[in-house]
Amino acid sequence: MDFSSFNAALLIASLMVAATPVLLAAIGELVVERAGVLNLGVEGMMITGAICGFAVAVNTGSPMLGFVGAAAGSLVLSLLFALLTQLALANQVASGLSLTLFGLGLSSLIGQSYGGQKPPRAYRLDIPGISDIPFFGRAFLQHDMMVYVSLALVAGVWALLKYTRAGLILRAVGENHDAAHALGYKVITIRILAIAFGGACAGLGGAYLSLVRVPQWTDGMTAGAGWIALAIVVFASWKPWRALIGAYLFGGITVLQLNFQAAGVAVPVQLLSMSPYVITILVLVVISARSSGAGAAPASLGRLFHAGR
């Protein structure tokens, strides 16, 4: 085997780009699940974000506005899920799956006239002198802004959950909604806010695909990224920094697999592609086997809450 053609800095740079869409979506879903809600509509929200972001960016010429539009579009879609599950008390699994179906159709309808168009270029970090530092600069400091936004979001969510009162309430709602309600917290309001945040993040992730990583609009272009984001949340056992590791691991396996092929190394593609999911299951087993609560799923995850009884 000849590894001379492997350039670690380039690999790291590529994997960060490949991981960013799923990381953005995962960090949003993590907050949603921490609040005790399971939204399986991530794929639908991502693809809606991809087209909303693309359309806004093309029409305004500003990628920044594009990302804002993406977040807004997916947020609106996620409110539909909130309406169903929090106010109409519908089942979360079925509502989430319906949301994905709806989002895929909606995005394709909106996107009918956007095929073949090119979005404006996203702003890229370039600090004279610093971005050119050998290895470190190439690997970490020459990305577009959203890569850093995703990292900032991870840090922000971590700090929010760990150090703030809002984070404490959010976790309380996710662990035991009846107790949280008894303590006077507005369970439904908090969950709606979490769902909206998750929607906005999924939208950013989708727009990252259509504006930066691919960059173009095509029907169904998320191609399952939303489902990977769901897997990452589980892999991370609902902890923000582990979500970062998970996303980079999933991204890293993809990038490495492709690089191995390009370097002429025969790799069992399917075996490698399924390995992150198998690892996720193993992680899940380990945390549920050793823990009496710590690191396991939020106790109220996916369960129905109705205050008036």
Partner 1 sequence: MKRRTLLAGVTTALGLGLAVGPALAQDKPKIGFVYVGPVNDGGWSQHHHEAAMAMKAHFGDAVEVVEQASVPEGADAERVLTQMALGGADLIFTTSFGYMEPTIDVAKKFPKVKFEHATGYKTAPNVGVYSARFYEGRAIEGFLAGHMTKSNKIGYIGSFPIPEVIRGINSSFIHAQKVNPDVEISVIWISTWFDPAKEADATQALLDQGVDVVLAHTDSTAPLAVLKEKGGLGFGQAADMYEYAPEPRISSIIDEWAPYYIKRVQAVIDGTWESDNTWDGIGAGMVGIGEITGPVPDDVKAEAMKMKDDIASGAYHPFTGPLNKQDGSPWLAEGEVADDGTLAGMNFYVQGITGSIPN
Partner 2 sequence: MIKLEKRRQPSQAWSYATPVLAVLATMFFGGLLFAFLGESPFAAIKTIFWDPLFSEFSFYYRPQLMVKAAPLVLIAVGLSLGFKAGIWNIGAEGQYILGAICGAAVGLALYPLDAWYVFPLMVIAGALGGMLWALIPALLKVRFGTNEILVSLMLVYVAEQLLASMALGPLRNPEGYGFPGSRNLDEYPSATSWILEDAGIHWGTVAALLAVVFAFVLLTRHMTGFHIRLTGDAPRAARFAGVNPGRLTVFSLGLSGLFAGLAGLFEVAGPAGQITIDFNSGYGFTAIIVAFLGRLNPIGILLAGFLLALTYIGGEIAQNQLGLPAAAIQVFQGMLLFFLLAFDLLTNYRIRLTLRETA
Binding site for partner 2 (CB under 8 A): 38, 40, 80, 83-84, 88-91, 93-95, 97-99, 101-109, 112, 219, 227, 230-231, 234, 268, 270-271, 273-274, 277-278, 280-281, 284-285, 288-289, 296-297, 301-302, 306, 308-309
Q: From its phi and psi, is residue 296 left (phi > 0), alpha (psi between -120 and 50) or beta?
A: beta
Q: Tell the smallest beta-carbon distance from residue 309 to partner 2 (Å).
A: 6
User: Residue 124 phi/psi, 5° resolution?
Assistant: -115, 140
Rounded CA gap, 74 and 44, in Å?
A: 9
- Contact assessment for residue 257 and residue 269, using Cβ atoms and an 8 Å cutoff: yes
Q: Shortest Cβ distance from residue 1 to partner 1 (Å)?
A: 12
Q: How far is CA 241 from CA 17, 46, 235, 238, 279, in A?
A: 17, 21, 11, 9, 17
Pick the binder of partner 1 from 138, 145, 213, 279 (CB under 8 A): 213
Among 103, 203, 215, 276, binds partner 1 (CB under 8 A): 215
Specify the stretch interacting with partner 1 by CB under 8 A; choose among 58-66, 193-201, 209-217, 301-309: 209-217
Give the whole-angstrom CA distance, residue 82 versus residue 196: 8
Q: Which of 132, 155, 166, 219 binds partner 1 (CB under 8 A)?
A: 219
Contact letters for partner 1, residues 73-92 (x by CB under 8 A): --------------------
Subset of 121-150 contacting partner 1 (CB under 8 A): 121
Cα→Cα distances 139→9, 123, 279, Å: 5, 17, 26
Determine the number of helices (DSSP H) and then strands (DSSP E) in the chain.
Answer: 12, 0
Minimum distance of partner 2 from residue 288's CB (angstroms): 4
Which residues within the stretch 222-241 sit at the binding site for partner 1 (CB under 8 A)?
222-223, 225
Are the C-beta atoms of 27 and 201 separated by less than 8 Å?
yes
Taking residues 245 to 274 in sequence order and writing x for each that binds partner 1 by CB under 8 A, - otherwise, the string is ---------xx--xx-xxxx-x--xx----
- Asked if residue 81 lies in contact with residue 41, where contact means CB atoms within 8 angstroms, the answer is yes
Evaluate whether 161 touches 219 at the Cβ level (below 8 Å). Answer: no
Residues between 20 and 39 that touch partner 1 (CB under 8 A): 21
Report the residue number, 116 or 129, with the smaller CB distance to partner 2.
116
Sequence-ordered list of residues with C-beta below 8 angstroms from that of 28, at least 6 positions apart, any chain: 42, 197, 198, 199, 200, 201, 202, 205
Could you say which of partner 2, partner 1, none residue 222 binds, taking C-beta under 5 to 8 angstroms by partner kind? Answer: partner 1
Look at residues 270, 182, 163, 284 and name the one whose alpha carbon lies nearest to residue 233. 284
Nearest approach, Cβ of 102 to partner 1 (angstroms)? Answer: 16
Contacting residues for 291 by C-beta, under 8 A, at least 6 apart: none
Does 14 contact partner 1 by CB under 8 A? yes
d(CA 208, CA 214): 8
Give the nearest distance from C-beta 91 to partner 2 in angstroms: 5
93 binds, among partner 1, partner 2, none (CB under 5 to 8 A by kind): partner 2
Q: Catalog residues that contact partner 1 under the rule CB under 8 A.
A: 5-7, 10-11, 14, 17-18, 21, 108, 111-112, 115-116, 118, 121, 209, 213-216, 218-223, 225, 254-255, 258-259, 261-264, 266, 269-270
